Amino acid sequence: MIKLQPVPNKKMKKLREEMGLTQAEVATKLEMPLSSYAMIEAGYRRNPRREVQKKIANFYSCTVDELFFDDDVHETRTLPEAKAG
């Protein structure tokens, strides 16, 4: 079984840092647990519930697609080749 590593949401982090905010400050403003916000930004939850996606996108004044699904949001990840046999 291949275990995938989390892929951070670079756009969320960039926007947050441009605003000069910590993850805790954003989580407080969004009225969500810090752990939930941090896991989304760190890539442990790549596709949170739609209402959470909308809430975060609205906070950053962008669309859900821009924040969660654009090509530049997540780093490109290649899977290791399967061994023949």
- Reply yes or no on whether the pLDDT at 60 is more than 50: yes
pLDDT digits (tens, 9 = 90+) for 18-44: 999 999 999 999 999 999 999 999 999
Tokens representing 33 are 């647990």
Q: Is the pLDDT of residue 80 over 80?
A: no
Contact present, 5 and 42 (Cβ < 8 Å): no
pTM: 0.77
Q: Work out the pLDDT band at 76, boundaries 50, 70, 90.
A: very low
Q: In the prediction, which pLDDT does 73 show? A: 52
